[in-house]
Amino acid sequence: MEILAHEIAFDFDGVVADTFRLFVQMAKRDYDVDIDYESIKEYDFLRIIKMDQDHVAQLFSTLTYYPHELDLEPNAGAADVLTRIAETAPPISVVTARPISGPVERWFEKNIPRIRPDSIRISATSESTAKLEILKQHGTRFFVEDRLDTCHLIAAQGITPIVFDQPWNREAHPYTVVKCWDEIDSLITWNGR
């Protein structure tokens, strides 16, 4: 697999940012929910977590609209790899199923300030199935994603998914899996390397 830096795009939640781990921490802290991150074996994890729907809605709203005000960390190594792409093959392409891009833009400004705003393109699609059209419009050949349904959808249309390992995507599938951003870095051809 040879990936040029301008041909790859990234999902935000679960790939760039450690969003689901923060959700678990907040659910435990704020609502005393008994949940273990590694036990989340389905992407639609609300089917397996016993939690009041109003509390779920509050957490989702906070994570969606105020990620820049939370302790939402980038996944280890994400800042370095994304900064390198911003410096060598801008813009970085982040495609998210979030409803609006503004909070993600502010999150980048706070958490990875080395990336200039004009070196990143954040596309908010409101739903995961709408990512395909954006990826096609941007000429994306590879997409790092943690949701297998999205991987199946884009693969059927000729875009190569790379699965960012999470507890909910460990069933059998034919795609390349990366467990960390160092592995993403090793897949990218940097300046002819």
Write the pLDDT tens digit of every residue in 29-61. 999 998 888 988 888 877 777 888 899 999 999
Residues 11 and 51 in one domain: no
Output the pLDDT for position 104. 98
pLDDT digits (tens, 9 = 90+) for 90-144: 999 999 999 999 999 999 999 999 999 999 999 999 999 999 999 999 999 999 9
Give me 102's structure tokens: 């503004």
Residues 58 and 77 in one domain: no
Residues 12 and 25 in one domain: no
- Percentage of the chain modeled with pLDDT above 90: 85
Output the pLDDT for position 193. 44
Residues 80 and 155 in one domain: yes
* Phi and psi, residue 17, nearest 5°: -110, 145
Burial class (CB in 10 A: 0-12, 13-18, 19+), 180: middle
Burial class (CB in 10 A: 0-12, 13-18, 19+), 82: buried
Residues 33 and 101 in one domain: no
Counted domains in the chain: 2
Q: Which of 118, 165, 167 is nearest to 145 (CA)?
A: 165
d(CA 67, CA 77): 19
Residues 179 and 86 in one domain: yes
Residues 95 and 173 in one domain: yes
Residues 103 and 129 in one domain: yes
- How does strand 142-145 pair with strand 120-124? unpaired
pLDDT digits (tens, 9 = 90+) for 7-34: 999 999 999 999 999 999 999 999 999 8
Residues 29 and 78 in one domain: no
**Residue 28: which domain range?**
19-69
Residues 8 and 56 in one domain: no
Residues 83 and 60 in one domain: no
List the CATH number of the domain containing 80.
Answer: 3.40.50.1000
Q: What kind and span of H or E run contains 152?
A: helix 148-155
Give me 94's structure tokens: 């982040």
Output the pLDDT for position 32. 93
HSE value, Cβ hemisphere, 13 Å, CA-based, for 177: 13
pLDDT digits (tens, 9 = 90+) for 67-100: 999 999 999 999 999 999 999 999 999 999 999 9
Q: How many CB atoms lie within 10 A of CB 171?
A: 8
